Amino acid sequence: MWFRNLYLYRLPKDWAIGAPDLEECLARLTLPGCQATEARSVGWVAPRDGGPLLHAVNQKWLLALGVEEKLLPASIVKRFVSDKAKAIEEAEGRRVGRKERREIQDEMTIELLPRAFIRRRTTFAWIDRINGWLVIDSASPAKAEEFVEHLRKSLDALPAKVLKVTQSPSAAMTVWLADGEAPVGFTLDQDLELRSAEKATVRYVKHALDGDEIRQHVAAGKVVTRLAMTWNDRISFLLDDNLQIKRLAFLDLLKEQADGQSENEDERFDIDFTLMAGEVAQLLDDLLAALGGEPR
């Protein structure tokens, strides 16, 4: 259980809810699966096959939101609509108007949905009660918001707020790049994106960041919008100007700690989850410090 992306929300450390109560709330809105004429279905699923809806380890709770979507390409619907409209015109000797065509499209969609393939995806998140985090494994703001909205529907109240920091991530990353020096505990890697006030964008991939060309971009007023970094030789990641952490990679040194500590798959799952959550919590503490902390 290793997350690839971190979309961050803050939770109050005195949030008064326990694991049994939260699991009971999740059970109200589990994934029902797409019915015959439904295009989409959303609900909670077990993070681990055969396990509970809430996987709890040491005050860290793992949740999973399942989404089922029918794959019904618009081109297929359009073809059926055209065929039916043509049949009506030939049989009745009249032209099918725009309104009637929309009605036919609705009818064809309902007729075709039961025969459509179903795609299922799962979005994972963990709640860290001790450190006050709701962390969603998503690179998409829309999917992260989808997760939070479904959690709000499941609970009477969800005091989650998007993480805010004192210093703009873009401004901080630009200073780090210009100085050629990362904050304490971090190193700068070789992936970079810069943007001008006119939205012109320059990207570097696996490129040394200490050259004159890059310094000229900064001198010309471009700011950093994405920067690859490594924390304590343990976790590499890409930080963007919206404070999203992407391409999270737990380096071999960290994963080796989990090897040999488990006797079965259940133990390995718990060890991986505990190690990941603990390390990321420390990473987030250091990153918040580098960005001036949270506004009061």
pLDDT of residue 224: 96
pLDDT of residue 257: 64
pLDDT of residue 253: 63
Cα three-residue angle 10-16-21, rounded to 5 degrees: 105
Q: Dump strand ranges (E) for the chain.
A: 7-10, 40-45, 55-57, 60-71, 117-128, 133-136, 161-162, 186-195, 201-204, 223-231, 235-240, 245-250
Question: How many other C-beta atoms can be found within 10 angstroms of the C-beta atom of residue 105?
Answer: 17
pLDDT of residue 210: 83
pLDDT of residue 36: 67
Rounded to the nearest 10 degrees, what angle do helices 169-179 and 212-219 cross at? 140
pTM of the model: 0.83
Token readout for 61 is: 């709770």
pLDDT of residue 115: 77
What does pLDDT average to in each consecutive run of 10 residues of the chain (296 residues)?
Answer: 93 86 94 78 93 91 93 82 86 87 84 79 94 94 94 90 95 93 94 93 90 88 96 95 94 66 78 91 96 92
Report whether 52 contacts 199 (CB < 8 A). Answer: no
